[in-house]
Every structure is written in structure tokens, then in C-alpha cells.
Structure 1
Amino acid sequence: MTTFQKVKLGDVCSQITDGKHGDCINNDNSGYYFISSKDVFNGSIHYENARQIIEADFLDTHRRTKLEIGDILITNSGTIGRMALIKNNTRVEKTTFQKSVAIIKPKQNVNNTYLFYKLLSLYKQLVNLGGGSAQHNLLLGDLRNFIIQIPDLPTQTRIASVLSAYDDLIENNEKRIKALEEMAQLLYAEWFVKFKFPLRLRLEQAGHEKVKMVDSHTEYGMIPEGWEVVKIDNLLKIVKRKIKLQTSEYKISGQFPIIDQGRDFIAGLRIIGN
């Protein structure tokens, strides 16, 4: 039977520290990245809006923290508790981070992937450690003294392998969904921008008269005869009545999605009557 040992996070890591205290000089095309808490979410670093800085400032910060493959990043101020597991990426060697991000370097007897998933599972406890709100600060001392349960290394590796396989499956499915969404956008453009919709093409290929195009007298220009350009509010009925739901009422399954204005458009699900 596998036993789990309770340990301090600092005892199974060679380094837990934060990024640069102070600012750096921007250089938008340098290729040296200065990550902040807003760039860390969904298990990875997102470089789309990341700052780039001059080489001298990068080297000064990188010398102390030296981000490497297998390290774990966690946001410790701003929105705390978001994490990234550093995987093989050409930008890793040219990436450093601000004080709003902390680095966790597991020791060699700890599987970094296991530790990453373990910390993810303890998100609420980490938020509470930072003051009970996602907008408080997660102190380095508290992080080093944070208690986790950890099994022997072979068990860590097996658990990490299973969880990574599920994550890879999810990532591949998300890529397929994105590809399908892009195909749908292209199809939409063909049908409703270029007006090369199937019926028109079949009629023209069968030798029938071409679909007549007329001026819409709008920014959309020429449209098929019989079509019209209308405002969406002429087609929809807006119901202003709303019900405020607490996050505690959200379900992981249900009949109806709950729409929110946050990062996740569908914030949860609800079964009517529950």
C-alpha cells in the first residue's frame, strides 16, 4: 500500500523565490520576455501580450532565477494561485519574470509534473494562504512552509503519467475544436461574404441563370436578390430580467449553461429546480 508523507513544500524544492523587484527597460523586439502574473494561466505561460525587455535587464534577473524546463511558476500577487509547468519551448531560455510570479524548482527526488498537479489540486488552500481572496498576496515564507502530501517517486511518476495523458488528450481535442472553428469561419466567409453558397453554385453548374446580385445600399455592398441587411436587434428580443446566482450554485453538469462576463464565457451549468 502506498503511503503519503506530509512535507513542507520548501523541503522538496531546491528554490522557491519570486521574480525581479523593480522595473525593466522595454524593447519590443528583443526576444527577451518579462512575464507578469497576467501571462500565467491554464497551466502555461502565454506570450501573446508579454513584455519584452533589453538584454542587460534580462541577464540581471535571469542570473538569480534561471527559468528551466520542469520548473513551476505560480502567481503570488494580483490574481494568485495560477500556475504554469515549464515544458520544452524555444523561449524558455529567454524568459524571466516579475515579482508577481514565484518560481518553484523541485528537487531531483520529486517528479515535477506530479508536484504541479498536486499544487493545482490545492488551489483553494493556496488562495486561503494568501488571505482568502484571489487578489491578496501569497508570501514566499508561507509558500515554503505549505504542507503537501507526497508518495514515493515511482508512485509520483505513475500518477503524473496518467494525468499528463489526460491533459494531452484535452489539448489535442482543443486543437481539433480550434481547427473546426477556423474551418467554420472560412465556410461562413465563402457563403455570406463571397456568396458562394451551395444552392447558388449548383444552379449555376446546372446551367440555370446566375443568381442576381443587387446593391444593399449598406457597407456590405452587393448581396443576392431577395436578401436584406438588417440590424440584429430587429431579429432578437432582449430580456432584461436577470437572476444573480452565487458561484456555490454552479454545477459541473446540467441542462442550461450560465453565461458570465469573465474569462470563461460559460461559467457553470445549472439544472432548473436545483
Structure 2
Amino acid sequence: MIAAASKPKSGWKEWKLGDLGVVVTGKTPSSNNPADFGNDIPFITPTDYKNYHKTASSAERLLSFAGADKLKNKILPAKSVMVTCIGSDMGKVALNTIPVVTNQQINSIIPDIKQVHPDFLYYTLIGSYDVLRSYGLAGTAVPIVNKTDFEGITVSMPPLPEQYAIAVVLSSLDDKIDLLHRQNKTLEGLAGALWRKVFIEETNPKWEESAVVGKNWTRF
């Protein structure tokens, strides 16, 4: 059994991940059946996590409905908590907002909402990153946490009402962070558009080239 990241606080209880919901290890469709891939159900791999802040609603590859049907016991409903469990990407966590399928490098929990708030579980596993990494590196050339070991990881959880309260606060902060990221991207796009407009599309014909520190610069 993998130890919890810290001792439980007063009123909190230790739980095994396997007791907090259904653990699902993903699977990759056979490459011999290209029709299993299409444009319908996101097929998430660790590579996709670079595009996620907290939530996941898309992937670089998608399955067809026919392909997903072959893996129907691997389809994750919205609000499942997906954790990368092998290789250099181990320990990354995301929360899906639509039904998805993952590959075998990801273990996911379909939370039992009578026991755990999905967002609180997400933040708990974010905080367990070092525990996952240290366990995965123990005794293997390639770091890995298999399904059985993943189910045995223990985490500390408060009563459900407290989980909700904590999740609301942390989710609000995450929303603000996400908004700032999107605003930064918008400003970067505006700056790039302004640069193109002023210095490329509407170059002043009176400008002339001048050598400055060994490079050609344009000046009025």
C-alpha cells in the first residue's frame, strides 16, 4: 500500500483511491482497425496534458463511435479524474468535462459522489504528485504505477460538506488563473497583429534601410 502524502487532519479520514470510485485503466484500439479512429470521442494520451490547465474536453486524436463502442467499458463519464501513471509524464492530473477514452498509460477514477467531490479529488491528487512520482520510480527502469497499486494509494479526505467548500474556493482561484492565461494569449495576439499591421502591411514608403550593429534596420 502506498502511504498518504501526510497524516490526516482532525475530522479527516484516510481512504484508498479504489474505495472512492471505480478505477479504469485506458486502452488503445488496434492499429489494424483504422476505422476505430474518427471525429467523435476524444482519445486522451499523456501528450494531450500539455494543453490542459485543469479540465479536458479535447484531444489530438479522436475515436469513431464504432471504435468507442468496442471500448465501452473504458469510456469515462464527465467529471472523472484522469492521472498519468507511466514515464516522464507521470503524476499529471486532469478532469474531463465530456465523455472520453484514454490510453493505457492513464489510470482514472470515476468518483462515487456519495463519498467524494470530483473537484476535491482532483486537487488532492494534484497535491499527491510527489507520492506518485516516488512510488513509480521505485525499482523499475521506467516509472509506472499499475492499476492495483493506484487503487491502493491512500489519501486524506474531510467530510463531504467540507470537500465541497474547499473545492469551491480552489475552483474559483483556478477559474481566475485560467482567465488570466486567456487574457495573456489575447494580448499576445493583439500585439502580433499590431506588429504585422504597422511594420509589414503598412510600411511607410519614406522609411529607408540603415545598418545598425551589423544588422539592417528600417528607420524614417
TM-score between both structures, scaled by the size of structure 1: 0.65
User: SS of 1:85's equivalent?
Assistant: strand
Distance 1:53 1:12 in 2: 28
Deviation at 1:152, TM superposition (A): 0.3
Q: Which of 209, 213, 216 pairs up with 1:227?
A: 209
Distance 1:37 1:173 in 2: 25
- Structure 2 matches for 1:198-237, cutoff 5 A? 211=204, 213=205, 224-228=206-210, 234=215
What RMSD in Å do the two structures reach over aligned CA positions?
2.7
- Does the 8 Å CA contact 2:39/2:62 hold for their aligned counterparts? yes
User: SS of 1:138's equivalent?
Assistant: coil
State yes or no: 1:179 paired with 2:186.
yes
What is the match of residue 4 of structure 2?
none
Per-residue CA deviation, residues 83-104 of structure 1 (Å, 9 max, x unaligned), is 11122xxxx23x3121111111
- Structure 2 matches for 1:12-161, cutoff 5 A? 12-13=20-21, 15-20=22-27, 23-24=30-31, 25-26=33-34, 29-41=38-50, 42-45=53-56, 47=58, 50-61=60-71, 63-78=72-87, 79-87=89-97, 92-93=98-99, 95-108=100-113, 109-131=115-137, 136-161=143-168
TM-score between both structures, scaled by the size of structure 2: 0.80
What is the match of residue 10 of structure 1?
18
Deviation at 1:234, TM superposition (A): 4.7
Distance 2:105 2:23 in 1: 13
Deviation at 1:38, TM superposition (A): 1.0
| More contact order relative to length (CA 8 Å, sep ≥ 6) | 2
Distance 1:233 1:114 in 2: 57
The structure whose residues are more often helix, as a share, is 2
State yes or no: 1:191 paired with 2:198.
yes
Distance 2:26 2:17 in 1: 18
Residues 17/107 of structure 1: CA separation in 2 closer, same or farther (3 Å cut): same
Residues 195/151 of structure 1: CA separation in 2 closer, same or farther (3 Å cut): same
Count how many residue pairs are aligned between Structure 1 and Structure 2.
Answer: 201
Task: Name stretches of at least 5 consecutive residues in structure 2 with no aligned partner.
Answer: 1-8
- Does the 8 Å CA contact 1:129/1:142 hold for their aligned counterparts? no
Deviation at 1:135, TM superposition (A): 5.2
What is the aligned-residue identity percentage?
23
Name which one, 1 or 2, has greater alpha-carbon Rg: 1
Residues 68/229 of structure 1: CA separation in 2 closer, same or farther (3 Å cut): farther
Task: Name stretches of at least 5 consecutive residues in structure 1 with no aligned partner.
Answer: 197-210, 214-223, 236-274
- Does the 8 Å CA contact 1:80/1:127 hold for their aligned counterparts? yes
Distance 1:33 1:145 in 2: 28
Residues 162/57 of structure 1: CA separation in 2 closer, same or farther (3 Å cut): same
